[in-house]
Chain A
Amino acid sequence: MCLDCGCAPKDHHHHHDHDHRHEHGKGKTLTIEEDLLGKNNRLAAANRARFAAHRLLVLNLVSSPGSGKTSILERTLSDLKNALRFAVLEGDQQTANDAERIAATGVPAHQINTGAGCHLDAHMVGHGVDHFDLAACDILMIENVGNLVCPAGFDLGEDHKVAVLSITEGEDKPLKYPQMFQAADLLLINKLDLLPHLRFDLEKCREFARRVNPRLEIIELSCENGEGMERWYAWLREQVGKKKNQKP
C-alpha cells in the first residue's frame, strides 16, 4: 500500500511538458522544467501532513559519522522515555547495529539500510514509519546517515533538522559544510567532556556556526557525563508542547 509515493505498481506523478516544439535536427524538443527534488519534496509534504495529523514532533538528526548521534539518543531515551513517547528511525548504509542499540532502551526502533545511498529520503521515511503506531508517539527521531553533505538537500517531512557536531571534529566544520548548518535549527555540540584534552575553541565554533546561520540555536553537551543534557531535554519538551498546541 503506497498511496502517496506510488512506488508500486506504477509511478504516477504529474509533469507539465508544455508542448513547445523546436526542431533540433530530426528530434523535437519538449520543455519540461521539472524540479529534480520535486518528487522527494512531494513525498516529504505527504509525510509532514501525516505527522501533523498525530501532532507528532519529528526531528531529523544529521552529522558526520561518529559525532555521537546514537549515543545522544540512547541517553535521551533512557532519561525521558517515561515522560515522552518516542519512536526512532535509524538510517545507515549497512547493519542494524544502531536500531538494536535503540531497541535495547525499550523504545520502538526501525532500521533503514540505504545500501549505496548516502542519505535518507522522504520515500524511505514514509515506509519506515509504517512500522510504528504514530498515534502512540510524541516524538519521532530520525537518525540520518552520518554525512555532512547529502542529507542537507533531502526534506523528510521533519519539523527540525538537528545537527550534531562533536568537538573532536574541529571548530570550523560549519564553514566547511555550510549547507548542513544552514538547514539546521538546532546545533548540539557534543563530547564536551573531552574539552580539556583537545585544542577546540568553543567560542570560535559558535561564531562560525552563527555566521553561517544566525538563527541557529546551540546547546553544548556531553552524553558521556550528562553535562548540558538538561538544556536539550528542555528544548525537546518545549517543542513537544508547541506541537501539541498546534492544530492538526
Chain B
Amino acid sequence: MHEVAITRSIIDICEETARRRGATTVRGVTVEIGELSGVVPEAGEFCFEACGKGTVLEGAALVIQRIPGRGRCNACGEEFPMDNQTFTCPACGDFPPRRVSGEELRVKEMEID
C-alpha cells in the first residue's frame, strides 16, 4: 500500500498550495497516474478519502487521469503501447525498450474557492 504514501504527498502538495493561496476549501484535485507507475488508481481513491479527513481536502473530488504506457525501441526507433509485461520491441525484438510515457505521478491542478 504505497498508495498511502503517494496520497499523503498529494495532500501535502495541496495543503501547501492552499495555505499559500489563502484557500480554506479545496473543491477538487486532478492527479495524473501513469499506467507504468505501479500505483493502483482504485487504491489511491480509497486512500484519498481516508487520508483527506480533517484536511483541506476533506470532501474534495479526486479526478485521476490515466496516462497510457508507451515505449520506444532503442534499436529500430519503433514506438508502441507498453505495459509492465512489455520487455521487448514488438517490431524487432530488441530489449529493453525505453519508456517514453506512463511513469507519471503528478498533481496536475486543483480547484479552490
Contacts and interface: CB of A to CB of B under 8 A. Distances in A.
B105 interface: yes
A150 interface: yes
A214 interface: yes
B2 A214 contact: no
B112 A32 contact: no
A26 B27 CA distance: 10
Nearest to A19: B21
B38 A179 contact: yes
Q: A-side binding surface: helix, strand, loop or mixed?
A: mixed
A117 B4 contact: yes
A39 B11 CA distance: 12
A96 to B, nearest CB: 22
A121 interface: yes
B6 interface: yes
A122 to B, nearest CB: 11
Contact of A33 (B2, B95, B108): B108
A142 B33 CA distance: 29
Contact of A178 (B87, B106, B113): B87
A80 interface: no
Contacts of A11: 12, 16
Interface residues of A, number: 39
A17 B87 CA distance: 37
Most buried by B among A13, A17, A33, A213: A17
Most buried by A among B5, B9, B88, B95: B5
B21 to A, nearest CB: 7
A150 B4 CA distance: 11
Contacts of A38: 9
B65 interface: no
Interface string A205-224: 00000011110000000000
B111 A179 contact: no
Given A27-B27, A178-B84, A211-B87, A37 B9 contact: yes
B109 interface: yes
Interface string A180-221: 001000000000000000000000000000011110000000
B24 to A, nearest CB: 12
B109 A31 contact: yes
Interface in A24-76: 24-40
Interface string B8-46: 011011001100110000011001000001100000000
B81 interface: no
B108 A32 contact: yes
Interface of A: 11, 13, 15, 17, 24-40, 116-119, 121, 149-150, 152-154, 175, 178-179, 182, 211-214
Interface of B: 1-2, 4-6, 9-10, 12-13, 16-17, 20-21, 27-28, 31, 37-38, 84-85, 87-88, 95-96, 105-113
* Nearest 4 A/B pairs, CB to CB: A150-B2, A36-B105, A27-B111, A27-B27
7 contacts: A11-B16, A32-B108, A34-B106, A34-B107, A36-B31, A36-B105, A211-B95
Given A27-B27, A212-B96, 17 more contacts: A15-B20, A27-B28, A29-B109, A31-B108, A32-B109, A34-B13, A34-B107, A36-B9, A36-B107, A37-B9, A39-B9, A121-B5, A150-B5, A152-B38, A153-B37, A212-B87, A213-B96
